[in-house]
Amino acid sequence: MIDSLLAYGWWVGAICIVVGFVALVKGADWLVDGASAVAKRFGISDLVIGLTVVAFGTSMPEFVVNMFSVAEGSTDLAITNILGSNIINTLVILGLTALVYPVVSQKRSRDFDIPMSIIAGVLVLSFVAIQSPFGESARGISRLGGIILLVLFCYFLYNTFVHAKDHPEEVQSDEVQSTKELTIGKACALIFGGLVGLVIGGELIVKSAVDIAQRCGVGEAVIGLTIVALGTSLPELATSVIAATKKNSDIALGNVIGSNIFNVFFVLATSATIRPLPAYKGIELDALVAVSGSILVWLFVKTNKEREVKRWGGAVLLLVYIAYLTYRLMTV
């Protein structure tokens, strides 16, 4: 049905992408609300819910888009969705947030989370820039690379759980605490509706993005780095800017860095484990910018006594993104 709609023109694809993003974001919200309510009914603590249901739920838009991309064989879209999302998360979302209010960092973020996001970026850059010694015929993220990332994801989850139990005062579970008490029936209905929304949204976005790329004569990578990446990053953008206006900017930093880690160690890793993701033209630059964003944020919070990304730092992040995007589009 979607294919027949797209036959009417590129403008139909554009509408489908917008509808897909709405379905994707709303579906993720419903899934998190329903799953959190069910977990509470079974006596699971807010700590566990926050570190599992809520954390995984915020990565569902990227995850679903990647699963459809892999299924359709659009591997360029699968990689650029993640690299583009992480670039936008760090350079645009944190940049805008810092302009609204300086982004404060917690010790945990400075000493573990941001370094983990840097490691994630370095690994991806290594996978796509260096010929594999294990016999793969082309550069890219192989199944072995995906498994390596998944192992590191397990370590990240374990370390996070241990730290959260030892320092419960640092755990930010506002999303869980605000969850309404729901009947099992209503919670299950939200879970089902959320899954339907995710499936419909993911399929609309992937098929429409591929169609637009073909009609406009540009690569899937460009669409993935811009339209798709920005759309899947909308939840993080809204959460971070709202947190900054309330002067809770430490939540914004944790939200963005946590999303970047999940995107690489969980979403990209799972995608590569299912189907190897070959390199595309310009991937080295995209991966380099993604890791450079995390390095810049780490330097910003480490080099001043307030341990924050100041407004000038936010401006630098935004300027780096503008320069990168301009160059990337000019060299398509």
Residue 149, φ and ψ in degrees, nearest 5: -65, -40
pLDDT above 90: percentage of residues in the chain:
31
Tell me, what's the pLDDT at 135? 47
4 vs 122: CA distance, rounded Å: 42
pTM of the model: 0.84
Tell me, what's the pLDDT at 4? 58
CA atoms within 13 A on the CB side of 325: 18
The mean per-residue pLDDT over the stretch 226-236 comes to: 80
Q: Record the tokens describing residue 259, joined without a space.
A: 């999303």
Q: Record the tokens describing residue 126, joined without a space.
A: 């290594």
Residue 280, φ and ψ in degrees, nearest 5: -125, 170
Tell me, what's the pLDDT at 249? 66
Residues forming a β-bridge with 308: 104
pLDDT band at 88; cut points 50, 70, 90: very high
Residues whose CB is less than 8 angstroms from the CB of residue 28 and which lie 6 or more positions away in sequence, other chains included = 57, 58, 60, 61, 194, 197, 198, 235
pLDDT tens digits for range 109-165: 888 999 999 999 999 999 988 765 544 456 789 999 999 999 999 999 998 888 777
Average pLDDT, the chain: 82
pLDDT band at 166; cut points 50, 70, 90: confident
Q: Record the tokens describing residue 292, joined without a space.
A: 């450079």
pLDDT band at 47; cut points 50, 70, 90: low
The mean per-residue pLDDT over the stretch 19-32 comes to: 83
| More confidently predicted of 166 and 328 | 328
Residue with tokens 């450079």: 292
Whether the pLDDT of residue 297 is over 90: the answer is: yes
The mean per-residue pLDDT over the stretch 29-55 comes to: 74
Whether the pLDDT of residue 6 is over 60: the answer is: no
Residue with tokens 């969850």: 179
Residue 90 near residue 317 (C-beta atoms within 8 A):
yes
Question: What's the distance, CA 73 to chain centroid?
Answer: 20
274 vs 235: CA distance, rounded Å: 26
DSSP state of 139: S
The mean per-residue pLDDT over the stretch 295-317 comes to: 92
Structural domain that includes position 305:
2-330
CATH number at residue 232: 1.20.1420.30
> Based on the structure, what is the number of domains in the chain?
1
116 vs 109: CA distance, rounded Å: 9
